[in-house]
Amino acid sequence: MALQEGQRLERGIGLFQATATNMSQMMGAGPFITVPIILSAMGGPQAIFGWMVGALLAALDGLVWSELGAAMPGEGGTYVYLREAFQYRTGKLMPFLFVWSTLIVTPLIMSTGAIGLTQYLAYFFPHMTGLESKLVAVLVTIITMVLLWRRITSIARLTTVLWIGAILTVVMVIVAASIHFNAHLAFSFPPNAFAPSKFLLGLGSGMLISIYDYMGYYTASYLGDEVSNPGKTIPRAILLSILFVAIIYLCMNIGMIGNIPWQAAMKSTDIGTQLVESVWGRPGAIVITLLIIWTCFASVYTGLLGASRLPYNAARDGLFFKSFANLHPRLKFPYVGLLVMGVIMAICCFFNLTEIINALMAMAIVIQFMGQIVALTILRKRQPNLKRPFRQWLYPIPSILAFVGWAYVFYSSGWAAIRLAIVWTALGIIAFLVWAYRKREWPFGQKVIQEAYLVQHMESVEQLSVD
């Protein structure tokens, strides 16, 4: 879709900023609030394998994101990929359902960062009530929205600063853990820890938690129109962020349970602070708590940055409210998406953390992650001439393994979360049919096939031939 010059986004995000954006989103509250949860889910230090398998799934899925993001670097990421792939059979149904699901899923993800931040803030304010902590999480959301109200070039610089703080946090935790590390404590597996039935059941629950912690490796894909040299930058940022964060997580979490008995760690609400305090006392605990709060905020900041762009392309395509396609007249960013996503995120801050994680994973997996794998296969067949600066290694093996992995995690999310996902998707289909009827779109009208990125590639080839 052609845009007027004043409506174009600025390409101000390079490889370093893109990787920092991904890592800041990944290394937020996750490892500091989910270690007790994954230990409980798997029943001991065998939770380490949950982290490892989760990293493998993220890497396999990262190859899917890398090919799609490099070939179709549009604002909105998955929305673009589903729109281009599924238009041949089901019109605009799949991109509509994606936007519908992300209205809930993305704010849920970001609200966990705000909730995690308030859990560690309780170290300084131990008498803070449950309601007060939720109101603080809402305040964090508002502050984040204010800081995102600026040009993308300025945001990229601030993202780098937040990323540095996140790296400093995990380095401090890893160093503290290494001083008094006890391998016997870290690997004190309970009896029958690896009994097949028990281990495989726990592994599914553990993967659900660990893959939640890795979520965000694709954030730069949502900013495709603002990434410099996206064909190379997006794949590199995705794969580098997964590699670096996987190494950091394994070191940090093995270090934690190598200092704190896993039975006690399962009950901790501020395990990062507890670890550092046991090594360096209260001064160290104060410093690490402030850094963890900083890290949680960094994930909220980068998450809301990416989420605010999600409805942008949908609105430009006429698949969402027109106001979402507007850019700020001076700062050139989609401000309506920022406001709406921020408000929804503030509401999500009032829910329970474990329920949030299960629900968001169940709702995101089928439409976004599994749907995207199918989209890659469809595009390989339907648009063989599409320019692909990055092609999935060993295709289709990573796609197949990622699809099986996501199905396993979906099943492990529990029937309550699965039912919620089914109900929300069903409501989305009804909403789509109402929208399609009013707009006379498929199935009530003719399907319109617009191979946007294939057309752009062919036009570029023709222009080069003329020159």
Residues 6+ apart with CB under 8 A from 436: 91, 92, 442, 443, 444, 445
Separation CA 405–CA 60 (nearest Å): 9
Question: Would you call 259 helix, strand, or coil by DSSP?
Answer: coil
Query: What average pLDDT does the segment 172-179 reach?
Result: 92
Largest CA distance in the chain: 72
Q: Per residue in 44-95, pLDDT tens? A: 999 999 989 999 999 999 999 999 999 999 867 898 899 999 999 999 999 9
Task: Report the candidate in 113, 135, 123, 111 with the shortest Cα–Cα distance to residue 289.
Answer: 123
* Better pLDDT: 215 or 463: 215
Query: DSSP label at 283?
Result: H
Q: Per residue in 356-369, pLDDT tens? A: 888 888 989 999 99
**Which tokens go with 363?**
């709702």
Instruction: Indicate the domain borders of the chain.
Output: 5-466
Write down the pLDDT at residue 300.
Answer: 84
Residue 188 Cα to chain centre, angstroms? 32
Q: Which amino acid is at 373?
A: I
Helix or strand run (H / E) with residue 279: helix 271-307
Alpha-carbon torsion angle 190, 194, 200, 203, nearest 10: 50
Confidence of residue 112 (pLDDT cuts 50, 70, 90): confident
Question: Would you call 67 helix, strand, or coil by DSSP?
Answer: helix
Residue 6, pLDDT > 50, answer no
Question: Would you call 226 helix, strand, or coil by DSSP?
Answer: helix
5-466 placed in CATH 1.20.1740.10: yes
Confidence of residue 467 (pLDDT cuts 50, 70, 90): low
Write down the pLDDT at residue 357.
Answer: 85
Query: What average pLDDT does the segment 157-166 reach?
Result: 76
Residue 3, pLDDT > 50, answer no
Q: Per residue in 337-355, pLDDT tens? A: 888 888 888 998 988 877 8
Separation CA 216–CA 261 (nearest Å): 30
Task: Report the candidate in 233, 218, 373 with the shortest Cα–Cα distance to residue 307.
Answer: 218
Separation CA 379–CA 451 (nearest Å): 10
Instruction: Give the Å distances, CA to CA, from 121 to 143, 290, 356, 446.
Output: 16, 8, 20, 55
Write down the pLDDT at residue 147.
Answer: 85
Query: What average pLDDT does the segment 410-429 reach?
Result: 90
Query: What average pLDDT does the segment 315-329 reach?
Result: 80
Confidence of residue 155 (pLDDT cuts 50, 70, 90): low
The percent of residues in the chain predicted with pLDDT above 70, rounded, is 93
